[in-house]
Amino acid sequence: MDDQARRAALAQRLSDANAAHAEYEKTELQGEYDQQWPEWYAAYLIAHAWNELFARAWDVNELSTALREADTAHRAAASKSSWQEFYAARFAASQPMAGQ
């Protein structure tokens, strides 16, 4: 898988997590904002093949911290790209894919 395809796969997993989390907020939190969203996303992503795209496996704590950092960086950069694309590029740059 080349870098562009990997970034696309990461962005898709983030989009899938976003859709699932929106449903979680709606049904489980009765529409309340989830302050612990990075932990929820991290658990979801790891359960849905996130680590297949990395040489070294993430754990929930490490990934939730990285998600929070990516959110802060995305807001600071005022990026025109979607948050999913921004995060995907950041994660792809953070470590190689398995087998590379």
Is residue 99 in some structural domain? no
Cα–Cα distance measured from residue 81 to residue 62, given in angstroms and rounded to the nearest whole number: 24
Residue 12 within any structural domain of the chain: yes
Is residue 23 in a domain? yes
Residue 98 lies in a domain: no
* pLDDT (tens digit per residue) in 71-85: 999 999 988 889 999
Query: pTM for the full model?
Result: 0.91
* DSSP letter assigned to residue 51: G
- Total domains present in the chain: 1
- Structural domain harbouring 13: 3-93
pLDDT in tens, 11-49: 999 999 999 999 999 999 999 999 999 999 999 999 999
Q: Give a yes or no: residue 74 inside a domain.
A: yes
Burial class (CB in 10 A: 0-12, 13-18, 19+), 47: exposed
Query: Quick check: is 100 in a domain?
Result: no
**Nearest to 36, CA basis, from 54, 61, 13, 14:** 61
* 65 is a domain residue: yes
For residue 60, is it within any domain?
Answer: yes
